[in-house]
Structure 1
Amino acid sequence: AGDDLFDVAQEVEQLLNRNQDFEISLTTTFGQPLPPMIRRATLVVPSRSVQPLDAEKAGRPASPICFLKVGDGRSGQPIALTYDLFKAVKELEKGMSVASLPRTVLALLDTTRARLSGPIVRDKLVLDRARIRIGSSGTSVVQRRSGFAVRKEGGGR
């Protein structure tokens, strides 16, 4: 059973992150529709980890709900492993498309991203490895020692 929880955490991590990145919209607030791609500004930080949360507290009864910890350090947030989320992850493992996720699961993932966004934009350690993607042209703004620089994504180092 413990391995199942780690497997579910891995699947949720893949749902929250895009490849090796975690993306935060800088042009909208939670619940607003995204603008067209050409008008978007997105903060891109290294992917956020997802792990089972050890919720055992001395002198307290065990929680009937499992929780996952999303993120690290101060930006870490607990999310409930709801039945809908667990069921969706198991169906994804059986070949269901991400596009077919129930709205409740999509809402939970969006809420989790939004809850992580606030602490992330205030975390200097995370921002040191961040970039801001502008529009759909593949242009990013990165921080350097001497200020900021523009970089084309997908290009060489």
Structure 2
Amino acid sequence: MTNDLSAYIDEIQAEFESHPGYSGVEIARGNRGAHVWWYGEVPETLRHALTEAPPGTSASILVAANPRGPLEEARDRIFTEGAQLGVSTAGIERDGSRILVYVWGEALAADPEIPAKIQALTTFPVKVMAGGAEPLPSQH
């Protein structure tokens, strides 16, 4: 069932991710269905797609806190302007509630004001965490 559900979620994402109301989709707890995070009026095409969930599963619409477009613009600004603060990556919470920002741990340790400086780059809530992806060692 998980493979059918994963394929179904992939179809939902492919069809609706370019819509301004789309915020994200996720597998529900226990692999029992899908949740589509949506901001604003839900199109009839999505309502219909949710009736076609795989047998034994369900699909539902959850209300996203903010529209994705402005969140993406804010995320990009934080990533670009926050590089000098040690921002390693930034993403958007699936429910549209905030921007998730990873900052190199040593940068956070050196300047405890970094979370406030990052928050000043946007009006959306921000969660700042230590972390970042380390490059893989070269293999020769």
Above 0.5 in TM-score? no
Q: Which has the higher contact order (CA 8 A, sep 6+)?
A: 1
Q: TM-score w.r.t. structure 2 length?
A: 0.30
